[in-house]
Amino acid sequence: MTEHPRVRIVDSADVSADALIGDGSSIWHLAQVREGVRMGENCIVGRGAYIGTGVEMGDNCKVQNYALVYEPAKLGAGVFIGPAVVLTNDTYPRAINPDGSIKSAHDWEPVGVTIERGASIGARATCVAPVTIGAWATVAAGAVVVKDVPAHALVVGVPARRIGWVGEAGVPLTAGESSDVWVCPMTGARYIESEGTLNKETV
């Protein structure tokens, strides 16, 4: 294991010398971090996870075991990627061209998934690029996301659909005194719903 005040990388991990790994980050057994990755501070990359070429990760991200984060994904600070999650990068995948020749990197243009600050993607969920997952949203385990997810939305199913709202603590919000007010049962924080979006009430 490579361990010093800056980063911790186990010997079996495959981390490109060209990747920029932030202070305090840990990369575990059999994980692969490709060229050009820009990883923030205090990130965790679990066993067998894959971080594709040029992926950007903010501070304090967690990528759990066997997740596949394909380029050009962008993860904001504090993003949680559950076990075996897949962030795709090919809208119309094919192994071969119409003439039967095998596709090369020059024959298609990768598109990425963007996940904003504090959002969580549950185990074995798939996000089909190009989509954006809004800040503090939660994608339930096993869901398949094929369209953008608003901030604070709780989405489930195949295809994923919104069934509620979640606060920054991650727990579902409960109805407040009016139809447009939502309250976090854990922290007491209040949120206002307007035209399909949710915003934290400021004091």
| Cβ atoms of residues 55 and 69 within 8 Å | yes
Name which CATH class applies to 2-165.
mainly beta
pTM (2 decimals)? 0.94
What is the average pLDDT value for the chain, to the nearest integer? 95
Q: What percent of the chain has pLDDT over 70?
A: 97
Q: How far apart are CA 85 and CA 82, in angstroms?
A: 6
In the chain, where the domains are located: 2-165, 167-203
| Cβ atoms of residues 41 and 60 within 8 Å | yes
As a whole number, mean pLDDT of residues 80-109 equals 94
